[in-house]
Amino acid sequence: MKSRIIALVAIMVMAFTGSAFAGSLQVKGSTTVLPLMQKCAETFMAANPSVSISISGGGSSNGAKALIDGTTDIAMMSRDMKAAEIQTATDNGRKPEQFIVALDCIVPVVNPANSVSALTIAQLKDIYTGKVSNWKELGGADEPIVVISRDTSSGTYDCWKDKIMHSGGDKSRVFPGALLQASNGAVAQAVSKNKKAIGYVGLAYLNKELKGVSVNGVEPSVKTAKDKTYPIARGLNLYTPGTPSGEAKALIDYMMSPAGQKQAAEVGFIPVTK
């Protein structure tokens, strides 16, 4: 049965793209976008066996750098490219073109053993600046808070910085005692193993070993991201060095198609098209 489903999806991809392709693609960047890209690329390569797609994470900033350097065909980014990045890429003859392939929520997460299940933006900011350091100050157990954050090359970090650390008009920084992780998966693993920890991940990384925390009384979900009531939502982007063609265009077209958007939903993201 599974092989029949894969074959059917492959036929749908070929019908959508119009013809088979041959060649190779390099895709680099955001670890948030990574699971969606991996899922769509697997389906695309099943329909186009002559195409080889190499995918690596490393963070949104690394995706931008690879696009600037000409070492990737598609950059995955969970934030918008910065003006300076766009200018540098353009100066190098690689003017970026943006494609928003899904929406996402950044979800504060704690260990399921933690009794805290709701926080405000102000409380999150106090935690990440080190102002609040014990869970009892937030209605939890009398235990120190282990703060886990993403590193500065991460688009997830950039969104967290803009929406949490810079909330209220000032530009606070994550305090030096925070433990930095290089990926959503690493944050998820660290929090799942430590009942005192708090971190933040993309919606697709929620699992039974993590407890998502509501923000300002709003639960993170597909619905609250779409209606913009959840306060830490964002777009997930692909960037190409100029107008894409060939395999790159076909892959992006597939990801934006109903079949690709269905896979976005399956991964845990919010589709941008019906």
Q: What is the pTM of this model?
A: 0.77
Q: Report the greatest alpha carbon distance in the chain.
A: 62
Mean pLDDT of the chain: 91
Exposed e or buried b per residue across 136-164, where buried means at least 16 C-beta atoms within 10 angstroms of its C-beta:
eebebeeeebbbbbbeebbbbbbbbbebb
Q: Taking 60 as the threshold, does the pLDDT of residue 4 lie above it?
A: no
Q: What is the mean pLDDT of residues 223-239?
A: 91
Q: Taking 70 as the threshold, does the pLDDT of residue 25 lie above it?
A: yes
Residues 257, 263, 264, 267, Cα dihedral to 10°: -170
Note whether 32 and 184 are within 8 A (CB).
yes
pLDDT digits (tens, 9 = 90+) for 52-84: 999 999 899 999 999 999 999 999 999 999 999
Same fold, 2-103+236-267 and 104-226: yes
Q: What is the rounded CA–CA span in Å between residue 43 and residue 264?
A: 13
Structure tokens at 184: 């959503």
Reported confidence tier of residue 14, pLDDT bands at 50, 70, 90:
very low
For the chain, the domains span 2-103+236-267, 104-226
Q: For 72, how many CA atoms within 13 A lie in the half-sphere containing its CB? A: 27
Q: Taking 50 as the threshold, does the pLDDT of residue 195 lie above it?
A: yes
Structure tokens at 103: 């929406």
CATH of domain 104-226: 3.40.190.10
> pLDDT higher for 17 or 50?
50
Q: Taking 60 as the threshold, does the pLDDT of residue 40 lie above it?
A: yes
Note whether 165 and 172 are within 8 A (CB).
yes
Note whether 67 and 75 are within 8 A (CB).
yes
Reported confidence tier of residue 10, pLDDT bands at 50, 70, 90:
very low
Q: What is the mean pLDDT of residues 210-226?
A: 93
Q: Which amino acid is at 153?
A: S
Q: Classify domain 2-103+236-267 at the CATH topology level.
A: D-Maltodextrin-Binding Protein; domain 2 (3.40.190)
Q: What is the rounded CA–CA span in Å between residue 44 and residue 38?
A: 10
Handedness of CA 104, 212, 187, 34 (dihedral sign): negative
Q: Taking 90 as the threshold, does the pLDDT of residue 16 lie above it?
A: no
pLDDT digits (tens, 9 = 90+) for 245-274: 999 999 999 999 999 999 999 998 999 986
Q: What is the rounded CA–CA span in Å between residue 203 and residue 207?
A: 9
Q: Taking 60 as the threshold, does the pLDDT of residue 2 lie above it?
A: no
Q: What is the mean pLDDT of residues 29-36?
A: 94
Structure tokens at 144: 């120190």
> pLDDT higher for 44 or 14?
44
